[in-house]
Amino acid sequence: MTRRKIVSAAFFFAVFGAVALLPPFVLLFRLDLRIFGIPIEITYIFVLWTILVLGARWFSRVLPLDEAPRSLRDADQ
């Protein structure tokens, strides 16, 4: 996968996370349902947060380091 595609995927991932945390989406889970005694809204937010943190970690490992343009590297030497 090229660097450009990975950067685009990382951007989409961040935008998806921001939109998924907006109140209209969180309120979709406004039910009287509990998981292990925790309301489903809170579970949704923490599961989403965990996915975003793990995704950010994955993207930080997959993305190659930025390198200075060749002209700047040659000027330093």
In a domain, 52, yes or no: yes
Sign of torsion over alpha carbons 69, 71, 73, 76: negative
Split into its structural domains, the chain has a count of 1
Q: Give pLDDT tens digits for 43-72.
A: 888 999 999 999 999 988 888 777 656 665
In a domain, 21, yes or no: no
In a domain, 17, yes or no: no
Q: Give pLDDT tens digits for 14-50.
A: 999 999 888 887 777 777 888 889 888 888 889 999 9
**pTM of the prediction?**
0.72
| Structural domain of 38 | 34-63
In a domain, 70, yes or no: no
